[in-house]
Structure 1
Amino acid sequence: MNLLTDAWIPIQQQGSYQKITLQQLLCGEQSGELCLPRDDMELACLQLLCAITQVLFTPKNKKELGQYIQQPMTAQDYVEISREKMSWFDLNHAKTPFMQIRGVKSTQPTGMDKLLAGVADGTNKAFVNPQGLGEVLCGGCAAIALFNAANNCPSMGGGFKGSLRGSTPITILIRGKELRQTIWLNVLTEETAEAAMPWYQNTKDQLPNYLDTVKADVKIAASTIGLNRGLLWQPAHFELLPPKASGCCSCCGCIEPVYDGFNKAKFNYTVEGVWPHPLSARIFTVKKGEKEEKFPSFTTTAPTWTHLSRLVVDQQTDKEGQQTAPVIQQARTFMASDKIQLIVGGYRNNQATILERRHELFSLAQGWATHGEVIHQIIAAGLAYKTALRKALYLFAVGIKDKVHGSGINLCEPAETNYYQQTENLLHYSLASVDYAAPSAALNAQNGKLKAMVTALFEQATEPYRQEPKMLKALALARRSLNKSLQELKPEGANT
């Protein structure tokens, strides 16, 4: 099964499900929306399509990229350009199968469900992952799962390496009007690639590390990893078992040759530094004169919008900063006057266990590219009102030592959960509709609504305790704290 010639891309169009080839998609012969039973597999499939397209057809400049976005490429161009790298994407290649290492030795094969994040671990529930979801996988789903495990998932435990971006990085992509456009909007030009990684020209002819393998225990500088090699980096030693002639894929449901297991083996090496992945923002701190970088990830239950500022806004001080993904930096050069839709996804994990999946769509109004401070203000306000609520309820619980006895009842967590649930749509609306050039009125309106929500949530949380005499002082203390915080958050000149 070859990803460049076979039909493996699952799409749905007008209620009809089918699989199409990459040539049909990029040449405009077929189109539709990606369709898989798991949102993370759809996101991984999109990432894989972007990676393959980047590796095969990197545009020289913004003009050439614009042509690809606007017009499908010709079948002749596709065939001629892809011919050189055909062996890179052969899932069953005799020597260098896609994202695999030949000759992996293990005591016994591992089930395919281990390639699907969260299916085989202790958090698996039938209503999230149907029973038998990863029993056998067709070639397309197996390729997507291999790519996802290499790029987005925690490692498989001690001795197994994780992705170049760390354990569970947040991925951000730009959404186009159709799937073909979405793919091209997330492909870097040579100009952008050189800006993101100054070593691009010296490394652009590198092979993926499943073709040109690394030595055990070697130390690799991130600045020696080229764009193609990094996008298709396989951190682990995996090898699929030979496929069975025919079966029903447990993921997509198609009748095709299927894989029912793989061999895995521990393999150690060290990557020094941070590789600038095209689809990831980076955050950094400066400690003792040394810059420490990492990729943002979902570490708490806080919703995705709380991360959006550091995903689309560049900021830097002497001690810390954030840098947006190269695809976002590139979009600022040719989408600055347009609205933009962003796909944001990733996992929240506890070591090797997946706790939560994220896959969300955000819309940013015209002006997003040049008014990052407004995006920051919208997100900061949403977080500040949440903090005001938590602070007041914390005082209600603990009081003030030797002055006011607290209630001893911690209402912070449920109130915060309710706050996030009730403000989700408001924050999405603010980001999508604000006039970024003149945002004052929209920001004041948003803050007024946030204030009303916080006040109502405080009253709702504390209502059962208003008739308890021993809690009245703690309640008064908490209400004074909330009113003080809300007053401080009121914008200058606002009436609310």
Structure 2
Amino acid sequence: MNLLTDAWIPVQQQGSYQKIGLQQLLCGEASGELCLPRDDMELAGLQLLCAITQVLFTPKDKKELGRFVQQPLTPENYAEACKSKMDWFDLDHPQTPFMQIRGVDAKEPTPMDKLLAGVADGTNKTFVNPPGLGEALCGGCAAIALFNVANNAPSMGGGFKGSLRGSTPITVLIKGNDLRQTLWLNVLTEETAESVMPWYQATNNQRPNYLDTVKAGDKFPASAIGLARGLLWQPAHFELLPAQKTGICSCCGCDEPVYRGFKKAKFNYTVEGVWPHPLSSRTFTVKKGEKEERFPSFTTTAPTWTHLSKLVVDQLDDKQGQQAAPVLQQARTFMTANKIQLIIGGYRNNQATVLERRHEFFSLAQGWAEHGLVIHKIIEGGLAYKTALRKSLFTFVSGALVNPGSKSSRDKISEICGCIEAVYYQQTEHLLHQVFAEVKFAAPDSTLQALNRKLKTVVIDLFEQATTPYRQEPKMLKALALARRSLHKSLKELEPEGAKA
């Protein structure tokens, strides 16, 4: 199966499910929205399509990119671009199969479910996955799974290398009016690529590392990795077993040739520095004169909106900072007249184990590109009211316990406060999404004030719900009074200066 010529892209349009080819999509011959039963596979499929489009067609400048966004390619343009890269995307190539290495030395094959993050690591109850979900994968789903493991999922542990972005990075994509537009909006122009990676031209003719392999133990700088090579980087050695001619794909459900196992092997090398992935923001700190960069990831259960500032806002100083994903840096130069829609996703993990997966949509109102401080203020406010609620409940529970310093008491405090914090996030998430989509960034004061009032109401209601069962107990009254005083003090401090007067 070849990703450039075969129909492997699962889409749904007007209730009809089908698989289409990349040429059909980019040439406007067919369309639809990606449709897979797992949201992380949909996200990885979209990333893979963006990567292939970037590799085949890198626009010279914004003008050419705009033309690609507005007008489908001709079949002749597509065929010409694919001519020299057919071997790159052949899943069964005899020497250089897509995202694989021939001749992997493994004692026994590994079941295909190990390519689906979170299915075979003992946490599939988290995802409510049906039995046998990764038993057999068709060519398209196998290609997406190989790409996902290489770019988004935790490494397989035990010495296996992770992606160029580290473990479980957050991915940010721009959503267009349809799937074809979405692909182009997440492609860098040559101008942007040169600004993000000054070594772009010098490395422009590189091939993926499953074609031009890295030697075991090699050490090289991130600047030695070109754009195409980095987008299709394979950090481990995988090799699919030969496909069975007939079968049912346990992921997409299609009746076609399927793969039921693969071979895997550890492979060690060292990349020095950080490779600037087009779909990831970066944060950095300066310690002892050395700049340390990393990609944000989901490390707690806090919702995605709490990360939004470091995903879309640039903030730089001498000691620390953050830079938005290159595709967003590029979008700031030509997508300022309207709102922007973002697709944000990733995993939360504990080493090799996936604990949670995310795939969310955000809308940012017009003005998002110039008013990053407003985005930061919205997030800051949402977190501040959560902190006020947690602080007051901490005061209440601590005052009610006989020995608040003991380990059992600390665990109880953490459990109660954590539960209420989770409820706060649940009740305010839609509100925060709505504010980001509707705020007038150039004049945000009225929106921010309305947000504060609504958050205050939520906090007071949750405090009352949490403490009501204990109000009839005399020994709890003092703790309740102290907690209520703490809450109102914190809420007063969060009011705008004019309101305090």
TM-score w.r.t. the length of structure 2 is 0.96
The offset of 1:468, in angstroms, is 2.0
Task: Give the conservation status (yes or no) of the 8 Å contact 1:405–1:474.
Answer: no
Name 1:234's counterpart in structure 2. 234
Choose which of 474, 488, 493 in structure 1 pairs with 2:493.
Answer: 488
State the aligned residue count.
496
Name 1:424's counterpart in structure 2. 429
CA distance in structure 2 between the aligned counterparts of 1:399 and 1:467, rounded to whole angstroms: 16
The offset of 1:471, in angstroms, is 2.1
The offset of 1:201, in angstroms, is 0.7
Amino acid at match of 1:387: T
CA distance in structure 2 between the aligned counterparts of 1:390 and 1:338, rounded to whole angstroms: 37
Task: Output aligned runs, 1:9-408, within 5 Å.
Answer: 9-125=9-125, 128-399=128-399
Amino acid at match of 1:361: F
Name 1:465's counterpart in structure 2. 470
The offset of 1:467, in angstroms, is 2.0
The offset of 1:149, in angstroms, is 0.4
TM-score w.r.t. the length of structure 1 is 0.97
Q: Give the match's secondary structure for 1:206.
A: coil
CA distance in structure 2 between the aligned counterparts of 1:7 and 1:479, rounded to whole angstroms: 62
The offset of 1:128, in angstroms, is 1.9
Name 2:5's counterpart in structure 1. 5
Amino acid at match of 2:482: L
Task: Give the conservation status (yes or no) of the 8 Å contact 1:139–1:257.
Answer: yes
Amino acid at match of 1:430: V
The offset of 1:123, in angstroms, is 0.7
Q: Which moved more, 1:395-404 or 1:332-341?
A: 395-404
Q: 1:34 to 1:404 in 2, by over 3 A?
A: closer
Name 1:475's counterpart in structure 2. 480
Superposed CA offset, 1:342-363 (max 9, x none): 0000001111111111000000
Name 1:412's counterpart in structure 2. 417
The offset of 1:403, in angstroms, is 13
The offset of 1:469, in angstroms, is 2.0
Q: Which moved more, 1:291-300 or 1:466-475?
A: 466-475
The offset of 1:145, in angstroms, is 0.3
Q: 1:400 to 1:136 in 2, by over 3 A?
A: closer
Amino acid at match of 1:490: E
Name 1:445's counterpart in structure 2. 450
CA distance in structure 2 between the aligned counterparts of 1:387 and 1:422, rounded to whole angstroms: 15
CA distance in structure 2 between the aligned counterparts of 1:231 and 1:491, rounded to whole angstroms: 46
Task: Give the conservation status (yes or no) of the 8 Å contact 1:161–1:235.
Answer: yes
Task: Point out where structure 1 has 5 or more consecutive residues left out of the alignment.
Answer: none
Amino acid at match of 1:42: E
CA distance in structure 1 between the aligned counterparts of 2:4 and 2:257, rounded to whole angstroms: 17
Task: Point out where structure 2 has 5 or more consecutive residues left out of the alignment.
Answer: none
Amino acid at match of 2:424: Y
CA distance in structure 2 between the aligned counterparts of 1:293 and 1:18, rounded to whole angstroms: 42
Superposed CA offset, 1:212-268 (max 9, x none): 000111112111111000000000000000111111111111111110000001111
CA distance in structure 1 between the aligned counterparts of 2:358 and 2:499, rounded to whole angstroms: 36
Q: Give the match's secondary structure for 1:77.
A: helix
CA distance in structure 2 between the aligned counterparts of 1:117 and 1:49, rounded to whole angstroms: 19
CA distance in structure 1 between the aligned counterparts of 2:125 and 2:201, rounded to whole angstroms: 47
Superposed CA offset, 1:448-471 (max 9, x none): 000111111111111112222222
CA distance in structure 1 between the aligned counterparts of 2:153 and 2:321, rounded to whole angstroms: 25
CA distance in structure 1 between the aligned counterparts of 2:434 and 2:497, rounded to whole angstroms: 23
The offset of 1:477, in angstroms, is 1.5
The offset of 1:45, in angstroms, is 0.3
Q: Which moved more, 1:396-405 or 1:86-95?
A: 396-405
RMSD between superposed Cα atoms in Å: 1.9
Task: Give the conservation status (yes or no) of the 8 Å contact 1:399–1:405.
Answer: no
The offset of 1:397, in angstroms, is 2.4
Amino acid at match of 1:483: H
Q: Give the match's secondary structure for 1:81.
A: helix
Superposed CA offset, 1:114-170 (max 9, x none): 000011111112962111111011100000000000000000011100000011000
Task: Give the conservation status (yes or no) of the 8 Å contact 2:400–2:476.
Answer: no
Q: Give the match's secondary structure for 1:247.
A: coil
Superposed CA offset, 1:384-409 (max 9, x none): 11011111111222249999999955
Q: 1:137 to 1:403 in 2, by over 3 A?
A: closer
The offset of 1:196, in angstroms, is 0.7
